[in-house]
Structure 1
Amino acid sequence: HPLYLHVFNCLVISYVNYWSQIIDFLSTIIDNRDVIAMLIQPLLKLGLVDRIIGLLTTELERSPDEKLDRSGSLDLVLHFMEELSAIHCVSKAMTSNDRLIKVLVNMIKSPDKVEVASYCASVVIVISNILTDGKHLVPKISRDLPFLEGLLEVLPEVPDDDQARYALWSILARILAQVQATELNSSSLDRFASLFSGKFGLIKDDLENQVVDEEKLTPEDALLKGWISRC
C-alpha cells in the first residue's frame, strides 16, 4: 500500500539521519587521541562494529527507487569505517566479525561494479587495514578467486588515489605471499595463473608507473615486485 510504503520510507530516513549525526560526531572527535582513547573501548563493548556493519548492509540492500540520498549515506558509512579501521583496537575487533568480512568481500566480488565503483577505494582500504591485524584471514581470501578477480578489476577505479592503490597492492602482496607458501594442486594453479595472465598488462603497467622507494618496501611488497619483474 502506498501509505505504508511512505511511512516506512519516513522511518528509514529518520533512522539513517539519526546515525548520520552520530557518525558525524564520532568522525569529528576521532582525530583527538585523548578523547577517542576514552570512548573507543566503551563504544566497542556497546557493539559499534555491529552497528556500522548493520548500517552498511541496510544501505547496500536499499532499493534504488527509495527516495533517499543513498550515495551520500553509503559514502558516509564507508568513510567512517575507513577511519575506524585505522584504529588498532577497532581493526582487531573487525577481524573477528565474519559478517563484516563477508560483506566487504562480496562488495569486491560483485559483478555489478557500476554502482559501487566510487566506493571501492574505501572498501579496499578497510580490507587492507583489517588484514594488518587479521593475518589469519589471508589463507581464506587467497583461495577466493572471484574476490581476487574483483580486486584486480578495482585497479582502474582508483588510479589517482594513492592510499587506495597502496591498500590494494598490499592485499595482493599478502595473497601472493600466501599462495607461494601453499602447495596448490594443478587445477588451482592453472586457474590462478589464468586469472593473473588475463590482467597482467594492467598490473604491470600500473606497477611500472609507480615510483617505489626500495628501502621502504615491506617483505610482502618486495615479493610482489619481484614476482612481477620475473614475469
Structure 2
Amino acid sequence: MSILNIRYASEGDTPGLSKINIDAFAATGKFMANTWPGASRESLLVYKGVVALKHLADPKKHVLATIEPSTGEIVGYARWEIPRGIGYDHEVPQLSEKGAYAVDNQMQFAPKPMNDELYSLFKRFLEEKRKKYSTEDDFVLDFLATSPAHQGKGIGTALLKWGLEKADSKKRRSYLEATLEGYPLYSKYGFKAVEEAEIDFTQHGGEGRQKFIMMIRDPQ
C-alpha cells in the first residue's frame, strides 16, 4: 500500500469498522469471547456497529477510517479523544433516525447470552485507569486496530501518528491502554508504561487472563 487515505468515518462506515474491531482481536483479545460466549459473528457485527455509532456521535471522539485506495475497503480504525476548544474540533455527523435510536438503546443490540459481570468489570477497569492516569487536557487513544489481512503496511503507525502530531503541536500528553500485541508499537513512538494490570476472567465466569499496560507519552 503506497498511499494511506485516512479520513473521518461516517455512519455508512460502521459495518467496516465493526468488522475490523472483531477480526483484529479474534485471536488475542478475550473480552468479547468471555462477555458474549457463543455469540454469532453476525450479532457481534451488529453490536460493534452500534458502538461505533455511539463514538461517532461523541464530539470529543475523532473516529478515523483508513481506506485501501484500490478497493475502497476500510483497513484501519482508530478513535482519538481530543480535548475540545484547542483547535481540533470537528463536525459531528448527524445520525439517521435509525442510527440515533441504536445509540440511545445500545444494550438492546448486545448479543445474548451476555456475562453482565464481565461487561461491567471491563468498563469499570478502563474508567478507573483513565481517571487515575489521564486528565481532561490529555489526548487519549481510545482504540486502534488494523485489518489482519493488511497488517505490517504502516496503517496502525499512520493512525497513531495522526493523533501524536496534533498532541505535540499543542504540547499535550497522550494516554492509552495497550495490549501486549500493541505495546511494541507504542513504545517505539515514545509511550512509557506507568502500570501493568491483568484481568482474570476465570474469577468472573469466563476463561483465561489478559494483561493491559497503561502508557503515557509526553509531548515531543
Q: State the TM-score bracket (shorter-chain normalisation).
A: under 0.3
Larger radius of gyration: 1
Q: Which has the higher helix share?
A: 1
Select the structure with the greater relative contact order (CA < 8 A; seq sep ≥ 6).
2
TM, length-normalised to structure 2: 0.24
TM, length-normalised to structure 1: 0.23
